[in-house]
Amino acid sequence: MKIPVLLPNIFNHPFTYITELKLKPGDYVSVPFGKTEMTGVVWDEFEKSENKDFVLKKIIKKHSVPAMNLNTLKFINWFSNYNLVPKGMSLKLHMLSNQIVENFSDKEYQFYNKLTKPIKYTLSEEQKNSLDEMINNTKNFNVHLLQGTTGSGKTIVYFNVIKHFIEKKFQVLILLPEIGLTSEFEKKFKDFFGFEPAVWHSSISKKKKKIIWSGLSSGKINIVIGARSALFLPFKKLGIIIVDEEHDQSYKQDEGVTYHARDMAIARAKFENIPINLVTAIPSIETYQNVKEHKYFHSRLIKRFKNAELPKHELIDLKKYKLGKQSWISSKTVERVKFHLKKGDQVLFFLNRRGFSPFVLCKNCLQVFSCPNCSINLVYHKKIQRLLCHYCGFKSGLNRSCNREEKCEFVFSGPGVEKISEEVKKIFPEYKSFIFSSDTMNKKSSKDYLKKIINNEINILIGTQLISKGYHFPNLNCIVVLDIELSSLGHDLRGAEKNLQLYHQLSGRAGRTGEPATVYFQTYNLKSDLINKIVNQDPLKFLDNELDLRKRNNLPPYERFISLIITSSDEKKLEKEALRLKDQLTKGIDAKILGPVNAPVYKIKKKFRNRLLIRSKKASTIQKKLSFILKSFNLSPGIKLTVDVDPINFN
């Protein structure tokens, strides 16, 4: 009997094998492939081939694990067509290192099923109302947005929704945007439910991944908290998906297989015919549009926990309180911060720049340190005394011969969090400070630092945007935004939306336990439109204006964008290939084709980059047409093409 088997590889079709085994779509099998043996899945369609003469190979064995859910199989087919990804590469997201894990003994799953005494939480009237609305929408597929002011107790509300599904013996998937959030979230989860969740992200051990994969497949593990890739796990009986911080840009996967995890989670819920809850303080523009068009249900929490007040906002005029030489903290800011520290408040200095200085040059020869592999400046990290490229990871020391036959004299231009940290230690030497960024919080010691911050053993934090993502610091009552103007630079069509979300999230870190709190903005422009939007307590007014602007200009979510990034180590060849591709697209697609243009970051990892942008109506079958064109378009050797459907970034 002939059987189609999809393999986790770059192919967009299954391969045909023969077998005497009784097999059905979704079964996991081992097959010969070339000189190796591979594990694949019996698929629901055969490869389309004109060649009738090839010799069919025999399936080696069927694996004794539960078959892939047919809804998951359909989701993978749809995912591939939507994102223009080969089906084999989509299957690879589901498979574990191209392997299938046979079941472990029950002993291995006990860690996730140990019960301890949970903490009881009392809900406010507002929380109860939102919970009732969400429970009423738990039958079949629907999307429900839970929007709540930062510190309003959104997590406890959707934990109660999850409890409803656990009691009915369903499995649950909770997606978080950042790995760094999982440790604090894990503790909150265990306090509420009284057992350990399975945590899934790139940093967990291979053995844990195997246990979780098989535990979900066999139904012996019920809850997963995970990053993007958790979406492709083999759930036996998935009941609901939660996407926390649904607005977060980190849900977009930009390397390898390109997709938006929030949007794909909604699609998976639809294929499984189950509800999905999106949770945020400020919804993404796409989610808000769907709420306005009554495609999504919407519940809103206005009041903070224990009726805590939102932070006040105060502008510090840098024209009046001028910054000193090599200083980034004004005298007025110092005065305000000292007032808070004396009260026992924790203080955060916010600057969204890692390292010590983003720009290092020699004042003799005026040469800037730039990356040899990427068209980007190297960032100086003083702690490790290295210049780093934040794109390719290139490292360099400061040793360099000057073009003027002298020793280079370096100027460190612009601040990063390390430079602010030095200044903080000089101004406030008696207080303990800590840099809160991905350089410090992705280490084993980060759990210890979190405990110290929560216990107010660290008085001053100097943080990047990582600190805005869902952390609860009970003593944080003063936030200083050092360079609000920096955030408003650039020409990103989503820039205003991103800034609104970032600064509302950031403000929400302060005053969470009811103590009076203030967010200070150092600025040269007291009439800044950006600050006015941030301090407005109803962000939906901004989103209404933003939607109106997008509609007038035919921008997402009213039009579909598809970005094509062409890369090559040969500049001239790249230019010719980009023009040849545009010509082919123009002939085959009835849509606007913009470009080709050099990407804003023109070179990454020694590869030059050109971009094309396709703009089409939302309802058009643009992916199908584009897929057909790309199949017949033979890329020249040394050229790589990446397709990004619904792009978030345009670097």
Shared-domain flag, residues 111 and 260: yes
Q: What is the pLDDT of residue 537?
A: 62
Residue 293 inside a domain? The answer is yes
User: Is the entire prediction scored with pTM above 0.85?
Assistant: yes
Mean pLDDT of 77-91: 95
pLDDT tens, position by position, 193-244: 988 889 998 888 888 899 999 999 988 999 999 999 999 999 999 999 999 9
Q: Are residues 588 and 445 in the same domain?
A: no
pLDDT surpassing 90 at residue 96? no
Per-residue pLDDT reduced to its tens digit, 491-515: 567 777 888 888 878 877 777 777 8
- The secondary structure of residue 51, as a DSSP letter, is -
pLDDT for res 444: 66
- pLDDT of the residue at 492: 67
The band of 487, judged by pLDDT with boundaries at 50, 70 and 90, is low
Domain contains 402: no
Q: What is the pLDDT of residue 505?
A: 80
150 within domain boundaries? yes
Residues 529, 598 within the same domain: no
Q: Which of 393-402, 422-431, 640-649 is predicted least confidently? A: 393-402
HEC profile of 190-242: HHHHCCCCEEECCCCCHHHHHHHHHHHHHCCCCEEEECHHHHHCCCCCEEEEE
Nearest residue to 102 via CA among 17, 28, 32, 43: 28
Cβ atoms < 10 Å from Cβ of 88: 21
Phi and psi at residue 55, to the nearest 5°: -85, 125
At 29, phi and psi to the nearest 5?
-135, 155
CATH of the domain at 123: 3.40.50.300
Last residue of a domain, one of 53, 68, 83: 68
Task: Tell whether 60 and 175 lie within a shared domain.
Answer: no
Q: Can the peptide bond before residue 118 be classed as cis, meaning omega within 30 degrees of 0?
A: no
Tell me whether residue 421 is exposed, middle or buried, using C-beta atoms within 10 angstroms of its C-beta: 0 to 12, 13 to 18, 19 or more. Answer: buried
* pLDDT at position 488 over 90: no
Whole-number mean pLDDT of the chain?
88
Mean pLDDT of 107-133: 87
Shared domain for 419 and 320, answered yes or no, is yes
What letter would DSSP give residue 519?
E
Of 492, 514, 547, the last residue of a domain is: 547
Question: For the segment 67-78, what is each residue's pLDDT rounded down to a tens digit?
Answer: 999 999 999 999
- Give the per-residue pLDDT at 388: 92
Residue 196 resides in a domain? yes
In a domain, 128, yes or no: yes
Is pLDDT larger for residue 482 or for residue 530? Answer: 482
For 249, the 3-state DSSP assignment is: helix
The Cα 164–Cα 431 span in angstroms is 46
Quick one: pLDDT band at residue 364, thresholds 50, 70, 90? confident
Among 165-179, 596-610, 618-632, the minimum mean pLDDT is found in 618-632
Q: Which residues pair with 172 in a beta bridge?
A: 223, 240
Rounded Cα distance, 92 and 46, in Å: 19
Does residue 164 sit in helix, strand or coil? helix
pLDDT in tens, 10-60: 999 999 999 999 999 999 999 999 889 999 999 988 877 655 567 889 999
**Alpha-carbon distances of 353 from 174, 466, 479, 520, rounded to whole Å:** 29, 11, 16, 18
Residues 340-347 have a mean pLDDT of: 93
Q: Is residue 172's pLDDT more than 80?
A: yes
pLDDT for the residue 207: 87
Q: Are residues 420 and 508 in the same domain?
A: yes
Say if residue 513 is in the same domain as residue 587: no
CATH code of the domain covering residue 632: 3.30.70.600
Residues 635 and 574 placed together within one structural domain of the fold: yes
Q: State which of 547, 573, 597 marks the end of a domain.
A: 547
**Could you report how far apart the first and last alpha carbons of the chain are, in Å?**
50
Number of domains in the chain: 4
Share of the chain above pLDDT 70, in %: 94
Assess whether pLDDT exceeds 80 at residue 257.
yes
Task: Say whether both 167 and 291 belong to one domain.
Answer: yes
Write out the residue range of the structural domain in which residue 435 sits: 308-353+415-547
Same domain, 288 and 318: no
In a domain, 513, yes or no: yes
pLDDT tens digits, 184-205: 788 888 889 988 889 998 888 8
- Identify the CATH number of the domain in which residue 36 sits: 3.40.1440.60
Q: Are residues 532 and 574 in the same domain?
A: no
Residue 405 banded pLDDT, cuts 50, 70, 90: low
Q: What type of residue is 257?
A: V
Tokens 């203080």, located at residue? 347
Beta strands in 258-389 (DSSP E): 259-260, 275-280, 297-301, 312-317, 346-350, 359-362, 379-381, 386-388
Which of 84, 247, 92, 221 has the alpha carbon at shortest distance from 166? 221
Let me know if residue 386 belongs to a domain.
no
Lowest mean pLDDT across 46-50, 348-352, 388-392: 46-50
What confidence score (pLDDT) does residue 424 get? 94
Task: Tell me the mean pLDDT in the region 366-388.
Answer: 88
CA gap 385, 101 in Å, rounded: 44
How many residues belong to the chain? 651
- Rounded to whole angstroms, how far apart are CA atoms 27 and 24? 6
Confirm whether 137 is domain-assigned: yes
Is the domain of 126 the same as that of 209?
yes
